[in-house]
Amino acid sequence: MFEFQTIYNVLDLAGTFAFAISGAIAAKQRGLDMFGIGAIAFTVACGGGIIRDLCIGAIPPVGLYDWRYLATAMLAALMTMGLYSWVKRLHQPVLLFDTLGLSLFAVSGSYKALLYNHNAEVAILLGMMTAVGGGVLRDVLLNRIPVIFRKEIYASAALVGSIVVVVGEYFKWPNTIVSLTAITLCFSLRFFALRYHWNLPVFKGEESDTVKGSGEG
């Protein structure tokens, strides 16, 4: 139980940092002001976790009462604003941060749902929700179709990570090994999907509308 809690904490704060950076960059590219950048960074970093906490009954959501989450997100936002000319040269590292956040949150989200004694389905769905929820909120707030619905394998990678955690806990395999396996698998899936443009099938019919996308993403 103790080890469980520690692993969950470390993964969750690391994921918060990674996602806050990706949120701050997206907000900056849209020309939002300082407050907007901070708010979007916090939303991307903590939004998925807040939805998860509401659904599992962890009141108040950890992102709202534990100062470390807010501090981590603000630090990431300030770093992004301060070092933007440096950050913008790092296209690849930014995607890596996002991929890292995705993997860490899928795993930490599933662990937390299990910690609150919910069943496998809740742990899998909310692990995935923790991982993708912040990004969906970001896209809704920035007024575009959430990128996860139309891009390379993304939520599906989180799904795989969450399933590994739930299966590992079911068979009572050691937490550290299960976490590392789940993170590695989720990260690799997303990484190679980006690199080789793997996509899920689209089934475009003749009368499909084309998505009025926003150009970015």
Q: Toward its own copies, which CB reaches closer, 1 or 209?
A: 209
Q: Toward its own copies, which CB reaches closer, 82 or 174?
A: 82
Which phi and psi (to 5°) does residue 215 adopt? Answer: 85, -40
Angle between helix axes 2-29 and 91-115 (nearest 10 degrees) is 140
Q: Which two tokens stand for residue 111?
A: 């662990």
Angstrom distance (rounded) from CA 208 to CA 192: 28
Q: Show contacts with its own copies in window 165-194 (CB under 8 A).
A: none
What is the C-alpha radius of gyration for the chain, rounded to an integer number of angstroms? 17
Minimal distance, residue 212 CB to its own copies, in Å: 7
92 touches its own copies by CB under 8 A: no
Q: Which two tokens stand for residue 143?
A: 């007024």
Q: Toward its own copies, which CB reaches closer, 14 or 150?
A: 150
3 touches its own copies by CB under 8 A: no
21 touches its own copies by CB under 8 A: no
Angstrom distance (rounded) from CA 44 to CA 38: 10
Residue 187, classed as helix, strand or coil, is helix
CB atoms within 10 A of CB 187: 19
89 touches its own copies by CB under 8 A: no
Residue type, 97: F
141 touches its own copies by CB under 8 A: yes
Q: Toward its own copies, which CB reaches closer, 71 or 180?
A: 71
Residues of this chain that interact with its own copies (CB under 8 A) are 27-37, 39-40, 50, 54-57, 59-61, 64-67, 70, 81, 84-85, 88, 118-119, 121-122, 125-126, 136, 140-146, 148-150, 155-156, 199-205, 207-212, 214-216
